[in-house]
Structure 1
Amino acid sequence: MSLQDWAENAKDRFDRDGLATGVYGAVQELWQGGLGVLGRHVYNYGTHVYEEDWDVLLVLDTCRPDVLAEVADEYEFLADYDPDADVLNSIGSRSPEWIGKTFDPESVAGPELEDTAYVSANPHTRDVPDPDQLALVDELWKYGWSYDHGTVRPETVVDRAIDVHRSGDHDRLVVHFMQPHSPYRSLVEEHPDWFSLSVGMDNPEDTPEFVLWERLRTGRVSREELWEAYRDNLRWVLDSLEILLDNMDADNVVITSDHGEAFGEWWYYGHSSTAPIPVLKRVPWATTTATDSGTYEPEITPESDENPTPDEVNERLRTLGYM
């Protein structure tokens, strides 16, 4: 965001929220933008996943170590998870940064990428620097999108991941789920207007993600309510992982995230910039195994003619708060 964009947004805030609330929001937005500049041009850090040992990497978008710890005892494959020890500093604070750095052929040896299949529900697959360097880049979000949920459901991702793992000629598999990233399914049911592309908070140009964090910042929704919805989205994807781990063979499976999510920590909301702050950089690194029992048969298959139009791509990105 340029200073001119910020100034225009600030004026809109003053007109919409009044001087005091508008100034607070404008300064907070400037702070978030400044942290993003810091991360892009001055200082950043993180461990590349290819420096670690894994066969299958399950990426749960925006998953924080602390929220994973809250539900870990509900899942056998997370029984030993320690949120203080089983963590990693991500190389990204938002998806396009993580994807671009993770699959950068200048940072990763050619054979590593050539042996990796990437199945992704995240629309930022376009940020893979050179898709031809990988064994497979499966853009699941193009043909597996759920308009009812405004995202790709984790069950759909599991379907495709099982099929790719059973039939693919690759040594490593990266599966990128969208959950627990918003839209939060429980709030979509209770407050569908919060997630509508046609209705912003008195501003039809706002993305649903922006509206959500604005509500938290201005106290129109409590942190506890959003956290509960965030945790529910995590259970949604973890329930699906139980099926996945019972239908693939892998000795070294890692459950991690591309980045975290800020609920007001560091005076930051969401994950809108490349800010190098711990709440966005610290992610889980939980290890487990998988055994294919053959009890599940995938149903979804890629449709070669199922390419969304540019407007549809932008709509999906806006739904997830990326535009």
Structure 2
Amino acid sequence: MFPMLWAEKHIDIGTNVFDKEWDLLIILDACRVDALKEVSPEFNFLDDINSIWSVGSTSKEWYANTFQGNRPEIGETALVSGNGWVEPLFEGQPNWSYWTMTRHSIWHNSSVINNALDRPLPSKEDFGEYVTVYEDRGGDCGTVALPDDVTNAAIKTGRETNTERMVVHYMQPHAPYLHERDGNKLPKMHNSPFESLRNGSTSREEVWEAYLNNLRLVLHSVENLLANIDADEVVISSDHGELFGECGLYSHIAACPHPALKRVPWVTTSAEDTHQMEPELSTEDINVDTKTRLRDLGYL
């Protein structure tokens, strides 16, 4: 893992989305190409499912390798993200050694490791607009950003700002699977699907179907976004894929070159603001630390 992360600092591995043409980039966290193809007949805006190689196999890798500090496009880009990794990357000093296999070893907090992996990153002030989306609901949902929360924030940002580009990062179909939530409660498997898959209490087919339903949930919200924002060139993609037992691996891990993780969808469409929706945003002041947000997503 460490050699791969070091190599990513010096060698372009995958396609940086800023090297492609788009006005609005919609990221569906942990969305596999084959999954999007499977549900595409149900959504008119999913016409031709192409793919690219991602610059990361986890969200933090994707962010670190996409938003490189020397890219001038960042200042003309609005980032609306429900992903908890944006805060430790863009609002503080990243702890690179903590994010590798050196964690809890004698190399933990090593300046050698940190210097080897360190790279220039923008701060939140460097973006044209920077919006994080979450709400502390407690229960099984915790601080996980719901699809409609991200859609509302993106609509508001699109109507009130004038940046050249916008990135909207939804947390679904990444676990937990929210499509059957009852208030703040989730079925146990939907909260920890890969634990259930590893211990054999749930079949791959059951977890896969729940994953697809979580994908359908977010795509319905994306459909609302496309009808309430103006963008000639829209791309729907992902930061990374997901593993369901391939090579004995589950979920997603850093610096893993498996095609089910590194190959991500690339779908083009367009959007027009018909003003069908007025965004409903919470005005409550929420104070949740980053570790809590990452824990709610199963990272810690």
TM-score past 0.5 threshold: yes
TM, length-normalised to structure 2: 0.81
Match of 1:56 among 24, 36, 53: 24
Match of 1:290 among 271, 275, 298: 271
CA distance in 1, matches of 2:256, 2:151: 31
Tell me, yes or no, if structure 1 residue 179 matches structure 2 residue 156.
no
Tell me, yes or no, if structure 1 residue 117 matches structure 2 residue 84.
no
Runs of 4+ with >4 A deviation: 186-191
Q: Does structure 1 conserve the Cα–Cα contact (< 8 Å) formed by 2:189 and 2:202?
A: no
Evaluate the alpha carbon distance shift between residue 302 and residue 177 of structure 1 in structure 2; reply closer, same or farther with a 3 A threshold. Answer: farther
Evaluate the alpha carbon distance shift between residue 298 and residue 192 of structure 1 in structure 2; reply closer, same or farther with a 3 A threshold. Answer: same
Q: CA deviation at 1:134?
A: 0.8
The letter for the 2-side match of 1:100 is A
Q: Equivalent residues in 2 for 1:89-128 (5 A)?
A: 89-106=53-70, 108=71, 110=72, 112-126=73-87, 127-128=89-90
Evaluate the alpha carbon distance shift between residue 131 and residue 186 of structure 1 in structure 2; reply closer, same or farther with a 3 A threshold. Answer: closer
Evaluate the alpha carbon distance shift between residue 284 and residue 302 of structure 1 in structure 2; reply closer, same or farther with a 3 A threshold. Answer: farther
> SS in structure 2 opposite 1:70?
helix
CA distance in 2, matches of 1:231, 1:163: 28
Match of 2:246 among 265, 268, 287: 265
Tell me, yes or no, if structure 1 residue 318 matches structure 2 residue 295.
yes
> SS in structure 2 opposite 1:73?
helix
Q: Equivalent residues in 2 for 1:141-160 (5 A)?
A: 141=134, 144-147=135-138, 149-150=141-142, 151-160=144-153
Superposition CA RMSD, Å: 2.1
The unaligned stretches of length 5 or more in structure 1 are 1-35, 196-207
Q: What is the aligned residue count? A: 261
Q: CA deviation at 1:321?
A: 1.3
Q: CA deviation at 1:230?
A: 0.4
Evaluate the alpha carbon distance shift between residue 186 and residue 164 of structure 1 in structure 2; reply closer, same or farther with a 3 A threshold. Answer: closer
Q: CA deviation at 1:266?
A: 2.6
Evaluate the alpha carbon distance shift between residue 50 and residue 100 of structure 1 in structure 2; reply closer, same or farther with a 3 A threshold. Answer: same
Q: CA deviation at 1:302?
A: 5.9
CA distance in 1, matches of 2:209, 2:166: 31
Q: How far does the alpha carbon of each residue in 1:258-314 deviate from its partner, in whole angstroms, 9 at most, with x for none?
A: 0000001132111132212211111000000001111111111565x4332x3xx32
Match of 1:235 among 201, 204, 216: 216
CA distance in 1, matches of 2:237, 2:127: 20
> SS in structure 2 opposite 1:76?
coil
CA distance in 2, matches of 1:317, 1:155: 20
The unaligned stretches of length 5 or more in structure 2 are 91-120
